[in-house]
Amino acid sequence: MNADLGLIGLAAMGQNLALNFAQKGFRVCVYNRTPEQTRAFLEQAGGEPLCAAYTPEDLVRCLHPPRRLLLMVRAGAAVDEVLEQMVPLLAPGDVVMDGGNSHYAETERRIQALAAHGLFFLGVGISGGTAGARWGPSLMPGGPLEAYAAVEDMLLRIAAIGDAGPCCAYMGRGGAGHFVKMTHNGIEYAIMQGIAEAYDGMRAGLGIPPDAAAEVFERWNQGSLQAYLTELTARVLRHRDRETGEPLVERILDAAEQKGTGRWAAQSALELGIPAPTLTAAVIARTLSFYKADRERIAALLPWPERAPAAPPEEFLADLEDGLNLVVLAAFSQALWLLSEASRQYGYGTDRAEVLRVWRAGCIIRARWIPFLEEILREDPEDPHLLFHPRFLAQVRERLPGAVRALQWALEAGVPMPALSTALDYLQGMRRARLPANLIQAQRDAFGAHTYRRIDRPGVFHTEWSAQGG
C-alpha cells in the first residue's frame, strides 16, 4: 500500500502518462485489462517507481489512502465498465480521474453516481498527444473542488511549464474540465481546417509543391501565426515517402476522420444558442471529405472555372496569411463565447483567462495569439465577446482586406474555404446593426402565427398577413 497513483489503461497515452508521473517522483501502479500489455510495458519501462497490478483488487491494495486513480480508457461505455469494477472496491474520500475525451454530460452523471458512494470523480481534459503526455501536457481538470485539491500536486508536477507557470488549473464545477477540452478540440478542428485551406490555395492557385509550401508555413511560423500546428504543418509537408521519394502528404487519402469532440463542440454551441459557425464548418468539412467516391463523381458533372489569382504570388500568399489569421481569431472568439455561456448556464465558474493560460504550452492549439487573448480577458473577464475589445478589433481590421481578397479568389477558382468563409460571415453578421431576420420572423408569423416584436413599440404582435398565406 505505497503507490501514489493507480493508472488504468495502457494504450500510448496511458503509458506515457505513467512514465511522466514516475519521472516526477510518484510511485505508479499500472493496470490493463490484458495482462500481456502490462508485462510488456513494465519490461520496456524498467520497473521502479512503477509497479503492476493484474486484478482490480490488487490495484486497490497497492494504493495508499486516500486512493487516487486515473482512467485512460476509451471514452463511453468502457469508462462505465471500469467504474462498475472499481467503485465497490474503493472507500469514501478516494478520487477517480477520467483522462479520456468523455462527453461533459457523462462526466456530470458520473460525478453524481460516485458521490452517492462517498467517492470523488474528476473529468480531466488532457491535450498534447503522446509526446505531451510523456513530457508535459496541458491539463484541464474539473469537478468537485475538494477532489481537485487532493490531486493538484500531482497534476501540477506533470503538466507542461509555460512562461506563466504549470499548464494546469481548476476549470470549474461539474463537467467543466471535459467541456473546456471539448472546446479546445473545436478550436483545433477550425485551425487545422484553416491551415488545410491555405495549403489548398497555394497548391490550386499557384501550383506550389509541398516543399515550397513548407517554406511558406515556416515563414508564417516566425510571425503572428507562430503555433504548434503551423510548425507541424511544415514538418508534415517536408516528409518524404520512403518507397517513392515523393511528398508523403500527397499519397494520403483526402478523407479526414474524427473522434467526436469537434462535433460535440458544434452541437453544444447549438444547444446553448451560441453562433460558432467556424467551429461547425470545420466539422462539416471533415464529414464532407469522407465521401470521396461521391466527390469524384460530382467533380466530373460540375466543372468549375480554374482562375489563377491576378495578384503576384507574394501578394496572394500575404492574403492567405491574413485569411488564416482571421480564421484563428474567429475560432477563439466563438469558442470563448461558448465557454462563457456554458459556465453561466451550467454554473461551472470557469475562468477563461486561466483556460488560455493553461493552453500556452503543452497543448495542440498553443499559439502566439494566446497570451494576447489572455491579456484581453484579464482586462475584462466578464464580457463574453472578444469583439468588443478595441485591441482585438484592431487585429481583425488589419487582416480583413487580405482575407476578403483571398476568399474572393477562392470562390472564383472553385477552391472551398469554409473556415475562412464562415469566419468572415461571423464577423459580417456581428457587425451588422440590422439583419434580415425581421423578414424571417414575419414569415414565421405568416405561416405559423409565431408572433413578432416591433422596433417602434413594446409588446408581442400577430398579423393576419393575407388570405393566401400558407
> pLDDT tens digits, residue range 403-421?
999 999 998 888 999 999 9
**Dist CA 324 CA 165 (whole Å):** 29
CATH of domain 5-174: 3.40.50.720
Contacts of 234-243 spanning 24+ positions with Cβ under 8 A:
237/199, 237/210, 237/211, 237/213, 238/210, 238/211, 238/214
In the chain, CATH 1.20.5 covers 443-470
Is 181 assigned a catalytic role? Answer: yes
Is 24 assigned a catalytic role? Answer: no
Average of pLDDT values for 157-176? 97
Catalytic residue among 48, 81, 188, 314: 188
Task: Output the pLDDT for position 304.
Answer: 82
**Dist CA 6 CA 69 (whole Å):** 5
pTM above 0.85, yes or no: yes
Q: How confident is the model at residue 470 (pLDDT cuts 50, 70, 90)?
A: very low
**Dist CA 336 CA 94 (whole Å):** 33
Q: Is the peptide bond before 66 cis (omega within 30 degrees of 0)?
A: yes
In the chain, CATH 3.40.50.720 covers 5-174
**Dist CA 59 CA 63 (whole Å):** 7
> pLDDT tens digits, residue range 43-58?
888 766 899 999 999 9
**Dist CA 321 CA 311 (whole Å):** 14
- Which CATH number is correct for 443-470, 3.30.70, 1.20.5, 1.10.3470, 1.10.1130? 1.20.5
Asked whether the beta carbons of 309 and 316 are under 8 A apart, the reply is: yes
β-strand partners of 146: none
Length of the chain: 470
**103 SS3 class:** coil
Percent of the chain with pLDDT over 90: 90
Q: How confident is the model at residue 305 (pLDDT cuts 50, 70, 90)?
A: confident
Catalytic residue among 36, 81, 84, 181: 181
Task: Compute CA 292 distance to the chain's CA centroid, rounded to the nearest angstrom.
Answer: 25
Q: Residue 161: which H helix or E strand, with range?
A: strand 161-162
**Dist CA 168 CA 180 (whole Å):** 12
108 pLDDT higher than 70: yes
**Dist CA 31 CA 7 (whole Å):** 6
**Dist CA 304 CA 292 (whole Å):** 18
How many C-alpha atoms does 393 have within 13 Å on its Cβ side? 8
Asked whether the beta carbons of 104 and 133 are under 8 A apart, the reply is: no
In the chain, CATH 1.10.1040.10 covers 181-431
Task: Write out the three cell numbers for 214.
Answer: 513548407
Decide the pairing of beta strands 68-71 and 95-98.
parallel
Asked whether the beta carbons of 329 and 394 are under 8 A apart, the reply is: no
456 pLDDT higher than 50: yes
Other C-beta atoms closer than 10 Å to the C-beta of 51 total 18
**Dist CA 206 CA 371 (whole Å):** 34
Query: What type of residue is 54?
Result: Y
CATH of domain 181-431: 1.10.1040.10
